[in-house]
Amino acid sequence: MTVGDLGFFLREALAGLKIHRVANFISIICIGLALLSLGLVAGTWANLQHVADTLRQDAEIVVYLDDDVSLQEAEQLSRRLLDHQGVSRTRVVCPDETLLRVESLIGSDIDILSVLEGHNPFAASIEVGVDAGVAAEVVSFSGNLAGVDYIRDNEEVLAPLLRLTSLIQWAGLVVILAVALVTTALVAHIVRLGMSARQQEMETLRLLGASEGFVCAPFVFEGALLGAAGALFAAFGVAAAGGRVYQLIRTGLPYLPLAAGTPLLGYLALLVLGVGLTAGTLGSLVALRSA
């Protein structure tokens, strides 16, 4: 088989696909939609994973202090926590700052202090940055300190997020498998149709001494082309939908740490193309095997 043969097989495959033009076009759209859903699931998974990773990296513990703890005492506690192994930073948040944060969360049109009749109900707290590995240890250490009211650990937020991520990961695997199977089956069916239309021609080629490789190669190309065409469609879909979703999240939920768009969409396009091409080729081989 030579390079010239490859060009010939490609032309043959294209000519073969033109026989059932409309049906094949619809099939390509179907493959494209299946691959598109795969790309979107994978993109969602990648972003959740990224959010989880980001949260895990600067795992933070917030130690809320009793009402009667003074700022000096709070600073002392803060220094003791900073001495603990695995603690990277600590910061005392005074009651006024907490109040300001709550105000900005609620919105500026309500004067919260007047509602509270000039009394700030919040106590001081300490934000503690820790290495993810020692978070539990620091939590129990802080719990034993005098003047500590309660401790909020980011693990509480992280745990359900990680559960969701792993769930989506599994769902993603199922989707990949399903999409690959559907694509393979669809391509196998189309290629078999094409083969039955050219049964006589294949037989004549064999009579002229063509190798099985020569007889079958155009059909392998046909399947690969179907998969690739669907994947191309899907890749554009992923890029368009991905770009739109990113834009929505950036404006609507700006604090959500998203995975960097440009490389991610590139990876997704590659994933979609890879699955499409592989499943398409596999479909052809299935068709040739079962012929």
Partner 1 sequence: MIRVCELSKHYADGTAALRDVDLVIDQGEMVFLRGPSGAGKTTLFEMILGIEPPSSGAVEVAGQRVFPGVHPRWVREIRRRTGVIFQDFRLFEGRTVRENVELGLRVLGIAGQKMRTRTDHRLENVGLLDRAEAPVGSLSWGERQRVGVARALAREPDIILADEPTGNLDEEMSERVLDLLYEANQGGATVVVAIHAPHVLKSTRRRVVTLRDGRVADDSAARDGKGS
Q: Which of 27, 53, 47 is nearest to 238 (CA)?
A: 47
Q: Which of 230, 177, 202 is nearest to 287 (CA)?
A: 202
Whole-angstrom Cα Rg for the chain: 30
Q: Which two tokens stand for residue 289?
A: 């095997």
Smallest distance, Å, CB 204 to partner 1? 5
* 2 scored as a contact of partner 1 (CB under 8 A): yes
The separation between CA 116 and the C-alpha centre of its own chain, rounded to angstroms, equals 44
Smallest distance, Å, CB 162 to partner 1? 58
Q: How far is CA 285 from CA 31, 152, 184, 279, in A?
A: 17, 57, 9, 10
* Residues paired with 191 in a beta bridge: none
* 18 scored as a contact of partner 1 (CB under 8 A): no
* 4 scored as a contact of partner 1 (CB under 8 A): yes
Per-residue x/- marks for partner 1, 204-243, CB under 8 A? xxxxxxxx--x-----------------------------
* 199 scored as a contact of partner 1 (CB under 8 A): no
Q: Between 8 and 267, name the residue whose CB sits nearer to partner 1.
A: 8
Q: Between 20 and 50, name the residue whose CB sits nearer to partner 1.
A: 20
Q: Site size for partner 1, by CB under 8 A?
A: 15
Q: Which of 223, 221, 232 is nearest to 270 (CA)?
A: 232
Smallest distance, Å, CB 208 to partner 1? 5
Quote the DSSP letter at residue 1: -
When binding is defined by CB under 8 A, the residue of 201, 240, 244, 250 that contacts partner 1 is: 201
Contact residues for partner 1 (CB under 8 A)? 2, 4-5, 8, 200-201, 204-211, 214
